A and B are shown apart, each in its own frame.
Chain A
Amino acid sequence: MDILNLTRISAKALLRNKTRSALSMLGIVIGIAAVIAVVNLGEGLKQSTANQLSDMGTNLIMVMRANQRRGGVSMGSSNVQSLKVRDAEMIAKNAKNITMVSPVVNSGGQVVNGSKNWSGTVYGGSTDYLQIRKYEIATGVNFTEEDVKKYAKVGLIGQTIVENLFGENEDPIGKTIRVGNMPFKVIGTLKEKGENTMGMDQDDIIIMPYSTVQKRILGVDFIHQIVCSAASEDVADAAVEEVENILRVAHKIPTGGTNDFEVRTQQELLEMMTSMTGMITTVLIAIALISLLVGCIGIMNIMYVTVTERTKEIGLRMSIGAKNSAILLQFLTESIILSLIGGVLGLVLGVALSYVVDLIMSLPFIVNVLWMIISFVSCAVLGLIAGFFPALKASRTDPINALRYE
């Protein structure tokens, strides 16, 4: 019995029961498709997170206020006033691995242009802020050092603001609009950036000199954040250390004392985000693998039914000279053919499915070849196992009884 013959016999037997073969294959198809789709979507999600974080600025280092306790009471990081403009200046002056620094103060507020109004977020930064956060100017110009010094009432607005406050053919540049009670002149618009991974609209933004936001809008002397740009990705860790040391000295934190700030790199944020999507993906893969297993049990079930139903055929084949091993191999091959064809269809369906979902969710389409191989091999192995016991049963049939079986 050569392989070709065996395959032909098994294929013919399967074709004799097209509907049943197709239905038992379906379990495998769905199982494999689910695994592949989930894995590919997970990869896409991971990639998209990485892309968007790097859109926020590669080499980005963020200094945030740390949650502090005073007399056993947690202050909540928003009430902490530990970061000052001076800190940003110290970093700019002393850190060798840092190329750009900007203090950040932000405030929400109603933005008004004549009869139109919109609720936006105002970010105050230095002249480097745009570059650090990878914002590009669409029209107009950035504000200057002079504007920062004079708390100038100028600002750049994102596309969402432009759309909501200005008519289609209206040029926002040079117009004066209000945020809260403060009128300011629009000196530039930003290019569109889209939503970030968290679903936040990155174009719903007004960027002003930090001093303007501090003095004219919020009336505070502290800042919320410092964003820096490391010279390169390689020195990011060194830069973090530098920043930390500079701020510990500036804040007079004794050795062993707890920092009243936190330094985060882009990389850490990325890991945080991907570990989250990774966890969800893992759970989904586990569920998909279970459905694959159920599919295999389906094949096993069908093979058992088939063996019983075809007792007479088995008896006949034995009586005309089929060895027990030939019968075993025939049914084993049937089950393997079912699972392999199911596997291939599942792979195709899974890839197609992830392509469509990626398209709809505008995620990058990534095919994880390793997982395709893993799921295909595991489906072949499961098919082998699922077919083995029914096939063994078939090969142990007594031809005398089988021929009389009705």
Chain B
Amino acid sequence: MSNNSIIKVENLKRTFIVGSEEVHALKGVSFEIFQGEFVSIMGSSGSGKSTLLNILGCLDQPTSGEYLIDGISVKERTKNELSEIRNRKIGFVFQSYNLLPRTTALENVELPLIYNSDISHRERHERAQHALEMVGLKDRMLHMPNQLSGGQQQRVAIARALVNDPVIVLADEATGNLDTRTSYEIMSLFQSLHEQGKTIAFVTHESDIAIFTNRTIFLRDGHILRDEPVATKSALEALKALPVENDY
């Protein structure tokens, strides 16, 4: 693990105005994520983890505080500059996959590269194929989302997050819609991606999922409660240990 800082937040605050009331979602959060880390961000609902994820994903701007992604300050960037950062630096994985319906897996994976005019049609195609190979869906490239299982759809979404070779993959409850077995399969995939050197931030509220990561940041009421390394469990082994009747 190198000491290259991918994400650095310092005293991050985010305040929403709801009606006449000010809601402090983040009340000063500081941490750093280094290259090659597999971090889970945990917290119950209302802890501010969604707000944090939105800011980390450059979908939202902090009210105050500093946020650097890959050494670039996000402060006072225009919307278009933020779009470009999202396009080049970040890979998103969502809870509900968010694949385009009636569009092949390959085309879904190609999507982020379409918004990067430096990449040719041919290169886009090759990179999307490669990303699908990485998630083990080489033989399903031309399937439509409705012809794929939930786990396979999430794999397509992960391939889409990898295709632009981002500095960090942000996963938002990526196993939230999946059963235990499939969740473990997806976590196993994340672990193998991590082994290949990918930096991953995984937002979840399930501690039995966070256990597959290397480090956990606990949020509560807009503050960091704990930030500690995890005694990582292998998802592959957890999968093997699953009782057969759990296999539905």
Contacts and interface: CB of A to CB of B under 8 A. Distances in A.
A, B co-complexed? yes
Interface of A: 1-2, 5, 9, 12, 16, 312-313, 315-326, 399-400, 403
A364 B34 CA distance: 80
A315 B83 CA distance: 12
B117 interface: yes
Contact of B86 (A321, A324, A403): A321
A323 B115 contact: yes
B162 to A, nearest CB: 12
Given A319-B86, A320-B115, A12 B107 contact: yes
Interface in B73-101: 79-80, 83-84, 86-88, 92, 94, 98, 100-101
Interface in B177-191: none
A322 B100 CA distance: 15
Interface of B: 54, 57, 59-60, 79-80, 83-84, 86-88, 92, 94, 98, 100-103, 107, 111-112, 114-117, 160, 164
Contacts of A321: 83-84, 86-88, 112, 115-116, 164
A320 B112 contact: yes
Interface secondary structure of A, over-half rule:
helix
Contacts of A5: 114, 117
B117 A326 contact: no
Contacts of A319: 57, 59, 86, 92
Contact of B111 (A2, A312, A320, A324): A320
Given A399-B59, A400-B59, A324 B79 contact: yes
Contacts of B107: 12
A400 B86 CA distance: 13
Contacts, number: 65
Contacts of A312: 98
A12 B92 CA distance: 23
Nearest 5 Cβ contacts at the A-B interface:
A321-B87, A320-B112, A16-B102, A323-B83, A316-B98
Contacts of B114: 1, 5, 9
B111 A317 contact: yes
Contact of B60 (A2, A318, A326, A400): A400
Contacts of A400: 54, 59-60
A262 to B, nearest CB: 73
A12 B80 contact: no
Nearest to A5: B114
A313 B117 CA distance: 20
A400 B79 CA distance: 13
B80 A325 contact: yes
A12 B107 CA distance: 10
Nearest to A406: B96
